[in-house]
Chains A and B, each alone.
Chain A
Amino acid sequence: MSQKSILLDHGSGGLASQELIGDLFLKYLDNPILNDLEDSAILDNSQGKLAFTTDSYVVDPIFFPGGDIGKLAVHGTINDLAMRGAVPKYLSLGLILEEGLDFETLEKVIISIADASKEAGVPIVTGDTKVVPKGKGDKIFINTAGIGFLPEGISISSKNARAGDKVIISGTLGDHGITIMTRRAGITMEGKLESDTMPLHTLVAKLVANFPEDLKTLRDPTRGGVATSLNEIAANSGLAIELEEESLPIRPQVRAACEILGLEPLYLANEGKCLVIVSGDKAKAVLELMHSTKEGKEATIIGTLTDGKSGRVTINTPVGGARVVTPLHGEPLPRIC
């Protein structure tokens, strides 16, 4: 298959489309619901509330250290469901392929999607493929939607945060964003830069089970980074957030790359991290639980919610000063010098 590439025919719905589905998609993604190949998937009804989300993935490059666009498409949507406390159950997979994409590349992405979906225990139950003429797309774009079940009595929302609650980040900042940016820039650093992409639903399930009352808000700080997510939480809760700069967990190689490119780790995307807002008196216990998991072994308390000016996020600097942390405006652009 390595010599072949995607033709407009593969998106026609005709024979070539069927071959693509049979030879590639079902080979790797197979499960009883998807194998039906009906126009829609029929799912078991849940007892309680459903969580439903969708996200599109257009990352360039499509393969990067620590992951690829396929893994990201599975993890990202699973994490969006998990951030409301839901248990992810089903995913859809929409592919937009550029004419001329070689089969080998597509197969690598599909295998990665299959692996990620199996590891997470969340099947792809329905899908669609379109092919656009060369130059009208960029290799491959993916959309995944996801459905999850919400456990009884669980309410996770940024509106639930209260003054005195603590802000925990499940691990280091900016690994994914800086990996992509340095790849684009062709910069290689000492020390490994790797995307942090991973599913967080297992960690969330443990938090929900152990701290159903004290777990207020969950947010995965993807595009816009921790700074933007915390601004959203502050705005939605009507509270202020005070961060401690010295407590922010940042890998030395990420910090070094940020210095070179003139970027701030607070604004870089993360794909395997969550912000956890918990009652102040339970913060230590939550942290201990997180440290016992692989997703949260580097979790750190980075700040506190306060009654200060509504919607404002500030950070205390090591020198004893303070500054405002605004949300991201536009794409982060590297500085001139």
Chain B
Amino acid sequence: MKHLDEFRDASLAKPLVAKLEKAVTKPLRVMEICGSHTMAIFRNGIRSILPEGLQLISGPGCPVCVTSAPHMDAFIAMADMPGIRVAIFGDLFRVPGTKGSLSNASSRGAKVDVVYSPMDALQIAKNNPSEHVVFLGVGFETTTPGIAATILAAKNDNVKNFSVFSTQKTMGPPMKALLSDPDLKIDGLLCPGHVSSIIGAKFWEPLAADYKLACVVAGFETADLLNALILLARQVATEDFKVENTYTRAVSYEGNARAMKMVDEIFEPADMNWRGLGVIPNSGLKIREKYADFDAEVKFDITLPEVDEAKGCMCGQILKGLNIPPECPLFAKRCTPANPIGPCMVSSEGTCAAYHKYGL
């Protein structure tokens, strides 16, 4: 498959492993921010061949994992409302709130549709005029433009029975909050590929400069990841901290201006509650007043419930990269993919799920 097989090619990858070993001349800790990177690293067996001295820490980039318990509870309450059907991305289905999940709601008769694009949710609304369809928006810069485009389409087509419950998040504020944490000692960032395709490689430049961090934007195949790790190790070795982009087949320096403009038309920054990290100012996106007709929070006057997060669950620490999953007392005991307690176990991209599924 074009642009896939060549980046998984063993004959390409093996020399890169040797190069990586050479490049790691002093210990370094690299945070992979993005959940898809975490999964790709495990799936390709990269963790098992890392040179000694190179430590990978999984960051807060799994959108499902950082969805707060109050938001999950509000999602579930919404699904239980008569006349409402909610549309979600698949991995939200099993995420636990404080009293069950959308999967439980579905089993007691709530209408929950798994969709592949928010546009599918709009189509469901058009097909079912007697019901109100709420798309539960969860995600980062990658999914936000699609949701913005859907709201524009809904307005354009004058659809009255469709709205979005936005918990959309942005990457900048939590990264700054994390990097300001004195406990978190990291030397470099493996910058997310898909998010960067929207916000551009330039987005990471202030972080590289302000926190003296090696930053490399990477794709998701073996060769992409190894290549990025080599560049990170070299930057750390030479203390020449900058942003390098190894995913040029998808990511430009400037990013996708059209997508960002569309997001800005629909959304404005708002404080957002992150599971494990708490409320981070201006880290979320809420729907502008101009589009309030499509804002489920306004339409249904939702107030988020106050809840306690699961006892003993270390997802918060794990999302910050301060602990690894096996250090959590619940990991692989009370908390498993079949019966997840913390959100990092639910999403296939969650750090705990990756450790549980692929950890050797």
Contact = CB atoms under 8 A, between A and B. Distances in A.
Interface of A: 185-187, 246, 252, 255-256, 259, 261-262, 264, 314-324, 326, 329-330, 333-337
Contact of B43 (A186, A246, A314, A323): A323
Interface in B198-251: 222, 226
B89 interface: yes
A314 B360 contact: yes
B36 A319 contact: no
A317 B114 contact: no
B120 interface: yes
B326 interface: no
Nearest to A319: B13
B110 to A, nearest CB: 16
A333 B44 CA distance: 20
B348 A262 contact: yes
B217 to A, nearest CB: 16
A319 B89 contact: no
Nearest to A256: B1
Contacts of B338: 329-330
5 contacts: A315-B45, A320-B17, A321-B45, A333-B94, A333-B114
Contacts of B357: 324, 326
B45 A335 contact: no
Given A318-B9, A318-B13, A335 B4 contact: no
B10 interface: yes
B10 A324 contact: no
B116 A334 contact: yes
B335 to A, nearest CB: 12
Contacts of A326: 337, 356-357
A317 B13 CA distance: 10
Contacts of A316: 45
B142 A319 contact: no
A324 B358 CA distance: 5
Contacts of A315: 45
Interface string B321-360: 0000000000000001110000000011100000011111
B29 interface: no
Nearest to A252: B1
A335 B46 contact: no
A186 B49 CA distance: 39
Given A317-B45, A318-B10, A319-B46, 9 more contacts: A185-B116, A318-B222, A320-B14, A322-B45, A333-B90, A334-B114, A335-B89, A336-B89, A337-B143
B91 interface: yes
A329 B337 contact: yes
A324 B359 contact: yes
Contacts of B349: 335-336
Interface in B85-113: 89-94
A262 B90 CA distance: 10
B90 A319 contact: no
Contacts of A256: 1, 4
A314 B360 CA distance: 8
Interface string B15-53: 011000000000000000000100000111111110000
Given A336-B138, A337-B143, A317 B120 contact: no
Contact of A323 (B10, B17, B42, B140): B42
Contact of B8 (A185, A318, A334): A318
Contacts of A330: 94, 337-338
A317 B91 contact: no
A303 B42 CA distance: 20
B249 to A, nearest CB: 14
Interface string B42-83: 111111110000000000000110000000000000000000
Contacts of A329: 336-338
Contacts of A259: 1, 4
B169 interface: no
A58 to B, nearest CB: 16
Contacts of B138: 336
Contacts of B43: 264, 317, 323
A337 B90 CA distance: 10
A333 B103 CA distance: 12
Nearest to A187: B116
10 closest Cβ contacts across the A-B interface? A321-B45, A317-B45, A333-B90, A318-B10, A329-B337, A334-B90, A319-B13, A321-B48, A323-B358, A336-B89
Contacts of B8: 318
Contacts of B4: 255-256, 259
B227 to A, nearest CB: 12
B194 interface: yes
B356 A322 contact: no
B358 A337 contact: no
